[in-house]
Amino acid sequence: MDLNNPFDELPEGLVDDLLANSKIISNNMRVKFESVMNNKSQLREKLETEKLIKNYTDLDAKTFPTAAATDGSYTVERLISSDFASVAAVAVEGLTPPGPERRKWPKPRYFSHIDNVEHNEETSQILRGMSAGLELYLAQKAPHDVIFLDGSMKTPLIYLNNATEHLDDGPVGLVNTFIGGKNYYNEDKIPYPTFLDIINAYEEILKSSRSDKIYAALPKYTTKNEICKKLGLNNFEDRGLLNFLLNGNEYLIIPSDNSDSTLHLNINSSKLNEKFDINFIKNKVQNIIENLLPDIDVIYFKPSNFSPVLRIETSKSVTKNTHRLGILFEAITLQMNSLSLMEPYPLYLADRMVKNLSTALPAIKEEAFKEIMNNWNGNLSEIYMAMHGYRTEGR
């Protein structure tokens, strides 16, 4: 395939249809954008009248905070005989701020797990929960002033619930590692987390009560439109609209409606009961759902005229404290000092790292194949067929 020609392997007629439709799409988007631009002054005036738009430079913060970010990924290599399942999360330090601060981590921190498991429909669900849990755990352990998480503050609960709902029918090895951890310590002598460690980390992140540490979630994609509804625009989402309305250094805060009755975490698995005091975990989960998640505010912040508007979710303990809020904005501004960055630098770097997990798994499979082949007395074609991969899944 010619990498310079994305249509190289598509039928010519299909390419023509796609290109013809692209003109229709571009016209529709232009009309939508023009409708905002033509009413930009009036829309911005409505927000200013309600005193929603504020300027970051009015806040008292010149602390040159350090920053880090976490991200996770999982991959399932579907083989004819069984599956290779892998999960990893990394924590990456951001750009070193000016001043006396030094790098806290000379290289990224991580936790990972790889296993050969039987064919099971729930493998991806367990891995997704493990990935979310490892991200939370690494974020909690980071010694930096500001820690960014990829996605919404709700996302870990959703992924953890997807995993806990399938603990009794998921691959035994993965389930046991997800619940009880394993005998592994990273280079900071931090042990691989258990399920309880993950819940504790999630609780601390949502509280964000320590004055020397701020946790902030930055979802890349969102369908939220609280601001648009306020302005009477039903065909836009907030980030898209505010990219037109906000100037550099401006922000606005809106209370997030996190009182979602559908949120829950299924912890009724017999395997969890065997390992932990289930009532203790239930109380923690209830606190997370009923008290901590509803206490999360949403901030829209535009670091500069050349940056996109960011959606930031963080605890009210941060948004109600102008000094801590200023530290958060300063960290974001310091980590987005390049025109090419569409998100804080450590988030970008962590995302790039974990996305390479899917490319590493085939190499691991090949090494396993060579090891088996060197000690196999039967027909090598049997091993080749047994380890043939026909599908790869992951995130």
pLDDT tens track for 232-291: 887 788 888 898 899 999 999 987 665 666 788 888 777 887 888 888 888 888 888 888
Model confidence at 126: pLDDT above 90: yes
pLDDT digits (tens, 9 = 90+) for 29-77: 888 788 788 888 888 888 888 888 999 988 876 788 999 999 999 988 8
Nearest to 390 by CA among 92, 82, 94: 82
Q: Residues for the chain: how many in total?
A: 395
> pLDDT-based confidence at 1, cuts 50/70/90?
very low
Rounded Cα gap, residues 325 and 243, in angstroms: 21
Residue 230 · residue 257 · CB < 8 Å: no
Residue 152 · residue 217 · CB < 8 Å: yes
Predicted pLDDT of residue 60: 73
Q: Which residues contact 34 (CB under 8 A, 6 or more apart)?
A: none
Distances (CA, A) of 51 to 241, 312, 384: 18, 19, 67
* Cβ count near 176 (within 10 Å): 16
pLDDT digits (tens, 9 = 90+) for 362-395: 666 666 666 666 676 666 665 555 555 665 555 6
> SS3 of 59, please?
coil
Could you give the percent of the chain with pLDDT greater than 90?
A: 40
* 30-34, 150-154, 277-281, 348-352, range with the lowest pLDDT: 30-34
Q: Which helix H or strand E contains 26, and what residues bound it? A: helix 12-38
Nearest to 214 by CA among 75, 323, 56: 323
Q: Which residues contact 223 (CB under 8 A, 6 or more apart)?
A: 237
